[in-house]
Amino acid sequence: MGQPLRQGGGLSPAFALMLTGVLALTGVVIELVRGYSGQSLLSAAADAVLYSAADSDSAAEDAAALVQANLAGRHLQVGPPSLSQNEQEAQVILQGEVPALMALSAIGKSGDLPVAAAARASSARTRIEIALVLDVSNSMSGAPMKAIKQGLAEFGEVLFGRERRNQDRVVSIIPATGLVNIGDHPELFHPESLTFPFGLQTLAHERGWSNLLTREVPGRQRKAFCARLPEHVDGIDRLAELTPGWIRKLELAPRGEAQPRLHYSTKPPAIQQYEDGTPLRAYAPRENPLERYLENRRDKLGIFDDPDCGVSPIQAHLSTWAAYRQALDTLHAAFNTNTAEGVMWGWRLLSPQWQGRWQQGAAELPRPYGQADNRKILVLFSDGEHMGPEAALRDRKQLLLCREMKRKGIQVYTVAFEGDARFVAQCASERSLAYKATSGNIRTVLTRLASAINDVVLTK
């Protein structure tokens, strides 16, 4: 009888080889999972660095801090981030290692697993032209004007503060009262409107004035130039006469018959000085003196500063925070409300038909319509509807102007201040672009508005 078989304690070579393979495969899978996890963490950190640090003034320091904040305590050993940026794009590269849990010498691999991630973005930032049309009628005087200036300062800080350079943002400020003081631009006016009419020729002869540009003439010493309302020039006094064709003519470049007509007043003003203390000047001929002035002396009229041609002129194409902040100091409440006229001049500060007319050194402004990298924005800031006998005409004119601008691709935002928002909001390009503000929240509202306009979009 043979010897009984006994179970030996060893493994067969085939089984041992299979077991080794299973263990090696398990190790590989575990390390691959950890490697992919590390890669994912590194990629997320690269995105965070890119979007948060790319537009920073201290990008390298911010990038290092963001890597530490996102990867601290993770199973990664990461080197310093490599960040490169210019005005068109930004790129970040992160490199690191995932410490190995086991030696993979069985498959010819040992040591930590290297991982890397890169993120790149191009900036979709566009150039922006903004026209701020501000209602500066007497209802805005005092505390409201102070609050408005504070809010506008916040607006400018957001708009210009994020820019390493400022040439991408230009802001024009259009203070609107009964008229709009366009500033020292006599060249824009029709030559015939600069000569003295019959009723003022006696006074001009007595004073030795050559034309309405003479420095002593009311308004000229303070470099104030207001245009006659175009509806008055054209004799329009009915809503039916405010046609889209007539509205479109208001955009035309100041050449020939399209040139504005210079405004002057032969009526004594209701106030003696402007809000900033500037006196309103007045002159009358000897035969119709100021102390007993008669407005019906058509051959011997006087000339007077007009409260509606205020002391706050248009500030055109401001491209730096310093210039913008200085312009806010020129804002003062004036007299009547006519934001329709302000909207018209706002359009002219955005229209390429008026290119090169506004400021030396800015011959390319306003830029042409339709440029993919250029946005045109008008912000209408008002406390409500127009008042007085011409209110309906001005309301209609304003709405038609907004409609034509929107057809040209101009984006219109509105801010209704302490008043009925419904009329003002009708100008907005869409409902979400119509804001409502009070003295209490004006700074918050204008900060939100500036952030919406100044939104920087980075595209992967």
Kindly tell me the sign of the dihedral angle through the C-alpha atoms of 194, 197, 200, 204. positive
pLDDT in tens, 293-342: 999 999 999 999 999 999 999 999 999 999 999 999 999 999 999 999 99
Residue 165 pLDDT level (bands cut at 50, 70, 90): very low
Same domain? 134 vs 22: no
Same domain? 104 vs 238: no
58, pLDDT greater than 70: no
Same domain? 39 vs 147: no
Mean pLDDT of 113-130: 68
Residue 33 pLDDT level (bands cut at 50, 70, 90): low
Which of the listed residues 67, 100, 123 is the one where a domain comes to its end?
Answer: 123
Residue 182 lies in a domain: yes
Hunting for tokens 């040439």 — which residue is that? 167
Same domain? 132 vs 116: no
Residue 198 lies in a domain: no
Strands 127-135 and 374-382: parallel
Count of structural domains, the chain: 2
CATH assignment at residue 410: 3.40.50.410
Same domain? 354 vs 447: yes
Alpha carbon distance 401, 448 (integer Å): 25
Return mean pLDDT, the chain.
Answer: 86
Same domain? 57 vs 178: no
Same domain? 71 vs 162: no
Residue 440 pLDDT level (bands cut at 50, 70, 90): very high
What pLDDT score does 78 carry? 74
Mean pLDDT of 140-157: 95
Torsion of CA 20, 24, 26, 31, to 10 degrees: 160
Residue 3 lies in a domain: no
Mean pLDDT of 255-283: 97
Cβ atoms of residues 446 and 155 within 8 Å: yes
Same domain? 136 vs 260: yes
Same domain? 140 vs 229: yes
359 vs 183, residue with greater confidence: 183
pLDDT in tens, 328-363: 999 999 999 999 999 999 999 999 999 999 988 889
Same domain? 29 vs 44: yes
159, pLDDT greater than 70: yes
pTM: 0.76
Alpha carbon distance 401, 259 (integer Å): 18
What pLDDT score does 449 carry? 96
Omega within 30 of 0 (cis) for the link into 218: no
371 is written with which tokens?
């440029």
Residue 285 lies in a domain: no
Residue 21 lies in a domain: yes
Residue 106 pLDDT level (bands cut at 50, 70, 90): very low
- Name the nearest CA neighbour of 415 among 42, 132, 41: 132
Which of the listed residues 94, 123, 152 is the one where a domain comes to its end?
Answer: 123
Same domain? 317 vs 168: yes
99 is written with which tokens?
């410490």
182, pLDDT greater than 70: yes
Residue 339 lies in a domain: yes
Same domain? 151 vs 48: no
CATH assignment at residue 46: 3.30.1300
368, pLDDT greater than 50: yes
Q: List the domain range (segments joined by +) for residue 246.
A: 127-189+225-264+306-455
Mean pLDDT of 39-67: 66
54, pLDDT greater than 80: no
Residue 81 lies in a domain: yes
Residue 441 lies in a domain: yes
pLDDT in tens, 201-220: 999 999 999 999 999 999 99
Which of the listed residues 71, 97, 123 is the one where a domain comes to its end?
Answer: 123
Percent of the chain with pLDDT over 90: 65
